[in-house]
């Protein structure tokens, strides 16, 4: 890969980290900690982004970052107080910066009007603060002291100057005479006169003399003082500016005097004015009768002997070449004693995880094939097999933990969402987080971003009352949303809780009935009503708000969570608020399931959904006509789902009494009984993605590889169990053929 492209990737990766650090730092500042350490960290984050952006010529990013950095600089040098208004500006700026980084990374066009306002605010804030206004990139640094030559002007009547006689000797500037006296400081900064003189040499030819006039007697000689000066005659076409540039690093650390060098030139000729000098007029011919005397001093004839510049002894004896240590591999330790870390490419981790997944499958295959033989040969072999299984499982757990990351970055993103939505809705909201350090598989974190965003938006937009509403309910103006994460019995539990008005149950029921999502005369428990929110097509907003009403309903959220193998629950207390609880598996890769056979094909039903298994008997079965049946289970009537038919793998309907019914609970707490031919066993299976190579299949969540190497499908219980979704699935399967069809 082109090295610059690789560094560009590094840059954007680093920007992500910097944005996190920036957000973190700003949050800390908002909570009242404006110590220099915190402010500096914030400054550095923006400064770092600016630096890299400059290297890649991302001008809009650079100029915004610069304005941002300027304000932060004022704050850290105590010229600006970070009051709440300023903090708001900083947070907004962080959001803009983050957006610009993303646009730059994706190579998208940047619309300056989007952030002009913020940029303007930053600029005016910086100007209003103490100290001198910074010039954007104006170089007002060590400008070389320009040497001016004051010369009297001599009038010459125009047109009256014949080819005048040249003086016998004429002066032509061929270079410069430089007097250079280093101060002690010069040496202390690691500068070296030899190098400077060498650079002069590169401009032309030089004659260098050492001026030892300041050298004291040996007794008075101080080792750290500087006593030597150098007189250099440089013949060159370069300008005085070029010369002062050579000395730019040592300006102020030396005495430097640059004069033009006038050399004697033989013969007459047209007068050539010396370089760099302002033009001066020739005296009228009469005045030239006198020998022409230049008005600047001619240095005395060189009296001191010309001294060859001898290289000074080597500064420090260079040790034997040191092997290059690329310390960039080391992670930056935190100030509180580092946990040693190592940076590994995600690809490698993924490969490792795949291999371990294979190992698990293989171990299962081994157990299955050897099982019968081992069982008869003795308990030792059996013990070994069991030990192997245990080790494999442990290995898998450890490997999965490698990809585990704290949810902190995800929660931080939510802070921004809250800010935005609060702004848009005119509400004051605070997001409290707990359990940021809880670790979750990286892929889970990424998949959680969208659903969580939606829930948070909902909470702010619909969950929390308006400021007036809150006031009249006796609540504080600031609404609070609590976002927590924790490990609980082998799962990750994430809650989103708001202290708003809670779910308006009557309204929800009304809307559900109006949209025909539920039968008109049914009664529901409170909890069942709450769960109606998860029905597709449901939305309580009478006006589809721009914020949450983009057609992304809670059903999509639930679907995303289920796709991760998790569950989501909702609970609410009127007047007090609502709470969503997500529970996710720690690792995505494995699933406990019941292995069943349907029409000679093997399927897996995830155990999380299963309530119990039953053998239907005639007296339990109710024929609903048109091939549907229901089953009576302890006073409740539960629909019987012919899975084989639903999936289209069986032409003839199954007979309930010849099937096994698996009672499943759906997220909406409704029950269904899935009919399968027989149950084979229950085991843990490794989940293999289906979608990657093929695409989504309605009714199928994923695939797995069985002990004998065959592929088996893992059922999507929600879709199959729910009748409406089943219908949709059936029509989707007609589309499946369509997606393959080519326009003829």
Partner 1 sequence: MTLTVLTVDDSRTMRDMLRLALTAAGMNVVQAEDGVHGVEVLATCAPDCIITDINMPRMDGFGFIEAVRADAAKQTIPILVLTTESDADKKQKARSAGATGWITKPFEPEKLISVVKRVVA
Partner 2 sequence: MKKDQANDPRELIVFKIGEMEFCVDIIQVREIRGWTPATPVPHSPEFMIGVINLRGTVLPVIDLPSRLGHGKSVPSQRHAVIVVQEQDRMTGLLVDMVSDIISVEQKEIHPTPDVSSAIARSFVSGIVTLEGRMISLLSLEDVLPNLQRKAA
Choosing from 43, 115, 176, 180, the residue that interacts with partner 1 (CB under 8 A) is: 43
What percent of the residues of the chain are helix, what percent strand, and what percent coil, each to the nearest 5?
40, 20, 35
Q: Which does 624 bind (CB under 5 to 8 A by kind): partner 2, partner 1, none?
A: none
Closest contact distance (angstroms) between CB of 602 and partner 2 is 8
Closest contact distance (angstroms) between CB of 188 and partner 1 is 6
H helix or E strand, kind and range, residue 381? helix 379-402
Binding flag, residue 699, partner 2 (CB under 8 A): yes
Closest contact distance (angstroms) between CB of 532 and partner 2 is 25
Q: Which does 173 bind (CB under 5 to 8 A by kind): partner 1, partner 2, none?
A: none
The b/e string for 504-517 (b: 16+ C-beta within 10 A; e otherwise) is eeeebbebbeeeee
Closest contact distance (angstroms) between CB of 462 and partner 2 is 23
Only one of the segments 234-242, 248-256, 329-337, 729-737 lies at the binding site for partner 2 (rule: CB under 8 A); that segment is 729-737
Binding flag, residue 640, partner 2 (CB under 8 A): no
Choosing from 5, 298, 303, 324, the residue that interacts with partner 1 (CB under 8 A) is: 324
Select 134 or 665, whichever has its Cβ closest to partner 1: 134
Pick out residues in 655-694 that bind partner 2 (CB under 8 A).
688-694
Only one of the segments 367-375, 422-430, 510-518, 702-710 lies at the binding site for partner 2 (rule: CB under 8 A); that segment is 702-710
The partner residues of 573 in beta bridges, in order of sequence, read 577
The partner residues of 433 in beta bridges, in order of sequence, read 483
Closest contact distance (angstroms) between CB of 177 and partner 1 is 23
Only one of the segments 314-322, 462-470, 552-560, 653-661 lies at the binding site for partner 1 (rule: CB under 8 A); that segment is 314-322
For residues 566 and 583, is the Cβ–Cβ distance under 8 A? yes
The β-bridge relationship of strands 254-265 and 610-614 is unpaired
Residue with tokens 């290995």: 395
Select 252 or 269, whichever has its Cβ closest to partner 1: 252
Binding flag, residue 698, partner 2 (CB under 8 A): yes
For residues 596 and 637, is the Cβ–Cβ distance under 8 A? no
Helix (H/G/I), strand (E/B), else coil: 678: strand
Q: Which residues contact 680 (CB under 8 A, 6 or more apart)?
A: 595, 596, 597, 602
User: What is the CB-side half-sphere exposure of residue 153 using CA atoms within 13 A?
Assistant: 5
Only one of the segments 46-54, 153-161, 370-378, 487-495 lies at the binding site for partner 1 (rule: CB under 8 A); that segment is 46-54
The β-bridge relationship of strands 429-434 and 479-488 is parallel
Q: Which does 81 bind (CB under 5 to 8 A by kind): partner 2, partner 1, none?
A: none
Rounded to whole angstroms, the Cα distance separating 668 from 530 reads 9
For residues 641 and 722, is the Cβ–Cβ distance under 8 A? no
Binding flag, residue 368, partner 2 (CB under 8 A): no
- Exposed, middle or buried by CB within 10 Å (0-12, 13-18, 19+), for 60? middle
For residues 683 and 606, is the Cβ–Cβ distance under 8 A? no
Pick out residues in 322-361 that bind partner 2 (CB under 8 A).
354, 357-358, 361
Residue with tokens 């001026």: 211
Closest contact distance (angstroms) between CB of 739 and partner 2 is 6
CA dihedral for 107, 111, 114, 117, sign (positive or negative): positive
What values do phi and psi take at 640, rounded to 5? -100, 125
Closest contact distance (angstroms) between CB of 560 and partner 2 is 10
Helix (H/G/I), strand (E/B), else coil: 694: coil
257-276 mask for partner 1 (x: CB under 8 A)? --------------------
> What DSSP designation does 113 have?
G
User: What is the CB-side half-sphere exposure of residue 743 using CA atoms within 13 A?
Assistant: 0
For residues 610 and 662, is the Cβ–Cβ distance under 8 A? yes
Select 111 or 185, whichever has its Cβ closest to partner 1: 185
For residues 407 and 435, is the Cβ–Cβ distance under 8 A? yes
Pick out residues in 195-254 that bind partner 1 (CB under 8 A).
195, 199, 248-249, 252-253
Rounded to whole angstroms, the Cα distance separating 398 from 436 reads 21
Q: Which residues contact 722 (CB under 8 A, 6 or more apart)?
A: 666, 668, 670, 672
Binding flag, residue 648, partner 2 (CB under 8 A): yes
CA-angle at 222, arms to 217 and 225, nearest 5°: 115
Closest contact distance (angstroms) between CB of 361 and partner 2 is 7
Binding flag, residue 696, partner 2 (CB under 8 A): yes
Q: Which does 213 bind (CB under 5 to 8 A by kind): partner 1, partner 2, none?
A: none
Binding flag, residue 318, partner 1 (CB under 8 A): yes
> What DSSP designation does 473 have?
T
Select 245 or 476, whichever has its Cβ closest to partner 1: 245
Pick out residues in 580-639 that bind partner 2 (CB under 8 A).
601-602
Choosing from 26, 483, 703, 717, the residue that interacts with partner 2 (CB under 8 A) is: 703
Closest contact distance (angstroms) between CB of 248 and partner 1 is 8
Q: Which does 14 bind (CB under 5 to 8 A by kind): partner 1, partner 2, none?
A: partner 1
118-147 mask for partner 1 (x: CB under 8 A)? ----------------xxxxxxxxx-----
Q: Which does 142 bind (CB under 5 to 8 A by kind): partner 1, partner 2, none?
A: partner 1
The b/e string for 271-287 (b: 16+ C-beta within 10 A; e otherwise) is eeebbeeeeeeebeeee
Helix (H/G/I), strand (E/B), else coil: 213: coil
Q: Which does 55 bind (CB under 5 to 8 A by kind): partner 2, partner 1, none?
A: partner 1
Binding flag, residue 48, partner 1 (CB under 8 A): yes
**Best CA proximity match to 196, nearest among 238, 249, 237:** 249
Only one of the segments 256-264, 288-296, 641-649, 671-679 lies at the binding site for partner 2 (rule: CB under 8 A); that segment is 641-649
**Best CA proximity match to 539, nearest among 573, 497, 510, 561:** 510
Binding flag, residue 41, partner 1 (CB under 8 A): yes
Q: Which does 358 bind (CB under 5 to 8 A by kind): partner 1, partner 2, none?
A: partner 2
Closest contact distance (angstroms) between CB of 72 and partner 1 is 11
Helix (H/G/I), strand (E/B), else coil: 449: helix
Only one of the segments 45-53, 465-473, 506-514, 588-596 lies at the binding site for partner 1 (rule: CB under 8 A); that segment is 45-53
Question: Which residues bind to partner 1, rule: CB under 8 A?
Answer: 3-4, 6-7, 10-11, 13-14, 40-41, 43-44, 47-48, 50-52, 54-55, 57, 134-142, 187-192, 194-195, 199, 248-249, 252-253, 314-316, 318-319, 321-322, 324-328, 330, 332, 335
List residues binding partner 2 (CB under 8 A).
Answer: 354, 357-358, 361, 601-602, 647-649, 688-700, 703, 705, 709-713, 729, 732-733, 736-737, 739-740, 742, 744
């Amino acid at each position: 890969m082109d090295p610059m492209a690789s560094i560009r990737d590094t840059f954007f990766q680093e920007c992500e980290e910097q944005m996190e650090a920036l957000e973190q730092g700003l949050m800390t500042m908002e909570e009242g900690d404006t110590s220099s350490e915190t402010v500096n960290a914030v400054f550095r984050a923006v400064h770092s982004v600016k630096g890299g952006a400059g290297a890649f010529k991302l001008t809009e990013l650079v100029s915004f970052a610069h304005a941002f950095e300027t304000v932060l600089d004022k704050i850290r040098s105590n010229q600006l107080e970070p009051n709440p208004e300023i903090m708001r500006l900083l947070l907004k700026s962080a959001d803009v910066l983050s957006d610009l980084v993303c646009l730059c990374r994706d190579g998208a066009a940047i619309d300056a009007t989007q952030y002009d306002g913020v940029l303007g605010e930053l600029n005016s804030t910086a100007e209003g603060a103490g100290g001198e206004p910074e010039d954007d990139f104006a170089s007002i640094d060590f400008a070389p002291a320009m040497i001016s030559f004051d010369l009297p002007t001599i009038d010459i009547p125009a047109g009256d100057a014949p080819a005048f006689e040249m003086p016998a000797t004429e002066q032509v500037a061929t270079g410069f005479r430089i007097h250079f006296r280093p101060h002690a400081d010069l040496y202390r900064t690691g500068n070296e006169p030899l190098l400077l003189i060498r650079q002069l040499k590169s401009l032309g030819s030089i004659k260098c003399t050492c001026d030892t006039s300041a050298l004291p007697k040996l007794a008075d000689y101080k080792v750290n003082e500087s006593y030597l000066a150098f007189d250099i005659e440089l013949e060159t076409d370069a300008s005085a500016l070029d010369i002062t540039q050579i000395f730019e690093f040592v300006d102020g650390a030396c005495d430097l005097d640059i004069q033009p060098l006038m050399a004697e030139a033989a013969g007459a000729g047209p007068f050539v004015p010396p370089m760099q000098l302002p033009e001066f007029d020739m005296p009228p011919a009469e005045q030239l009768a006198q020998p022409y005397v230049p008005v600047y001093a001619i240095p005395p004839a060189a009296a001191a002997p010309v001294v060859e510049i001898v290289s000074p002894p080597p500064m420090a004896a260079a040790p034997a070449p040191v092997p290059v240590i690329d310390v960039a591999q080391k992670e930056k330790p935190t100030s509180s004693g580092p946990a040693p870390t190592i940076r590994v490419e995600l690809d490698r981790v993924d490969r490792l995880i795949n291999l371990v997944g294979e190992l698990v499958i293989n171990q299962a295959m081994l157990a299955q094939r050897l099982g019968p033989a081992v069982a008869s040969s003795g308990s030792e072999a059996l013990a070994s097999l069991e030990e192997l299984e245990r080790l494999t499982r442990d290995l898998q757990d450890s490997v999965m933990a490698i990809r585990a990351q704290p949810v902190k970055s995800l929660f931080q993103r939510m802070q921004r969402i809250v800010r935005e939505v609060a702004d848009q809705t005119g509400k004051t909201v605070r997001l409290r987080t707990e359990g940021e350090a809880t670790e979750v598989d990286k892929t889970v974190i990424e998949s959680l971003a969208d659903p969580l965003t939606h829930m948070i938006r909902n909470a702010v937009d619909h969950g929390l009352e308006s400021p007036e509403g809150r006031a009249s309910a006796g609540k504080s103006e600031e609404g609070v949303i609590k976002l927590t994460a924790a490990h609980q019995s082998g799962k990750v539990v994430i809650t989103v809780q708001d202290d708003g008005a809670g779910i308006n149950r009557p309204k929800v029921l009304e809307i559900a009935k109006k949209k025909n999502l539920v039968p008109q005369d049914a009664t529901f428990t409170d909890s069942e009503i709450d769960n109606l929110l998860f029905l597709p097509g449901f939305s309580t907003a009478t006006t589809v708000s721009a914020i949450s009403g983009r057609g992304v309903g809670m059903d999509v959220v639930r679907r995303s969570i289920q796709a991760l193998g998790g569950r989501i629950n909702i609970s609410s207390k009127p007047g007090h608020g609502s709470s969503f609880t997500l529970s996710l598996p720690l690792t995505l890769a494995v699933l406990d399931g019941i292995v069943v056979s349907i029409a000679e094909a093997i399927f897996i039903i995830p155990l999380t959904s299963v309530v119990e298994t039953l053998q239907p008997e005639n007296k339990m079965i109710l024929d609903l006509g048109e091939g549907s049946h229901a089953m009576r289970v302890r006073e409740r009537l539960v629909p019987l789902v012919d899975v084989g038919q639903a999936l289209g793998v069986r032409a003839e309907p199954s007979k309930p009494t010849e099937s096994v019914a698996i009672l499943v609970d759906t997220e909406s707490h409704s029950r269904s009984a899935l009919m399968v031919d027989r149950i084979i066993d229950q085991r843990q299976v490794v989940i293999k993605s289906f979608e990657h190579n093929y695409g989504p299949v309605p009714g199928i969540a994923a695939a797995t590889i069985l002990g004998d190497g065959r592929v088996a499908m893992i059922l999507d219980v929600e879709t199959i169990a729910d009748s409406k979704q089943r219908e949709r699935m059936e029509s989707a399967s007609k589309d499946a053929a369509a997606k393959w069809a080519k326009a003829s």
